[in-house]
A and B are shown apart, each in its own frame.
Chain A
Amino acid sequence: NAGVTQTPKFQVLKTGQSMTLQCAQDMNHEYMSWYRQDPGMGLRLIHYSVGAGITDQGEVPNGYNVSRSTTEDFPLRLLSAAPSQTSVYFCASSLQLDTEAFFGQGTRLTVV
């Protein structure tokens, strides 16, 4: 059982480049979300989805885009990378609104 799988694990981008972080889960979870983790701060919600075709903004959505065409996949797109987006990104999924969240292993992104 793979759980939540994120790719890539590491990425270096130049300012202005775009890219997509991939997230897939095989637990048939309805709820999926993207977080960023910065030193000394708690995880901050970027975007989330409560089911296929439904997405909403979190706390820090600017510069990021998401879509949810299937239950399994929830990609995060960086439209035009900026150094402020250097961070570690985590994808998470949960069965219900208020149940345990399972996290992927993270993507460490550096924007130069």
Chain B
Amino acid sequence: KNQVEQSPQSLIILEGKNCTLQCNYTVSPFSNLRWYKQDTGRGPVSLTIMTFSENTKSNGRYTATLDADTKQSSLHITASQLSDSASYICVVSAPYDYKLSFGAGTTVTVRA
């Protein structure tokens, strides 16, 4: 059973609008939670990394939140641009374990 579930599977938004992606996980204990952006045909690139003690972290127009009590995270994209069209992957790591747990990703399409 996948320990990291992402929703929605895909979404379409208009350029300039905001959107929020969700990530629920069951990995416990956990060390950190990461959000990656994967452009079509490319490898994932890190956006944010949060430990259990952090509840928000920003990277430009990307803001990630974490609620370690409910095991939920979200990624908010502000004022979307065409270049935000990509798959966004939530990844959770456990302490002393190199085997990361990956979500299946949310595909975001930004239209002009």
Report how many A-B pairs have Cβ atoms within 8 Å.
51
Number of interface residues of B (CB under 8 A): 24
B contacts with A: majority SS: loop
A103 touches B104 (CB 8 A): no
A100 touches B41 (CB 8 A): no
The 0/1 profile, CB within 8 Å of A marked 1, for residues 60-83 of chain B is 000000000000000000000000
B32 touches A98 (CB 8 A): yes
Given A42-B89, A105-B43, A106-B42; A100-B102 close (CB under 8 Å): no
Assess whether A31 is interfacial by the CB under 8 Å rule. yes
B98 touches A59 (CB 8 A): no
| Cβ-defined partner of A42 (8 Å) among B41, B43, B98, B103 | B103
User: For window 53-112 of chain A, which residues contact chain B by CB distance below 8 Å?
Assistant: 58-59, 90, 92, 97-98, 100-106
For chain A, the bracket of interface size reads: 20 to 34
A42 touches B95 (CB 8 A): no
| Cβ-defined partner of B93 (8 Å) among A41, A43, A98 | A98
- From residue B59, how far is it (CB to closest CB) to chain A in Å? 12
**Which chain B positions have C-beta within 8 A of A52?**
none
B43 touches A48 (CB 8 A): no
For B34, the closest partner residue in chain A by CB is: A100
A104 touches B43 (CB 8 A): yes
Given A42-B2, A42-B105; A98-B41 close (CB under 8 Å): no
**Which chain A positions have C-beta within 8 A of B4?**
42
**Which chain B positions have C-beta within 8 A of A103?**
43-45
Once the chains are docked, how many angstroms separate the CA of A40 from the CA of B2?
12
**Which chain A positions have C-beta within 8 A of B96?**
97
Given A41-B104, A90-B43, A106-B43; A100-B98 close (CB under 8 Å): no
- Can you list 8 A-B contacts with CB-CB less than 8 angstroms, sorted by A residue number? A33-B98, A42-B103, A97-B98, A98-B32, A100-B46, A103-B45, A105-B41, A106-B42
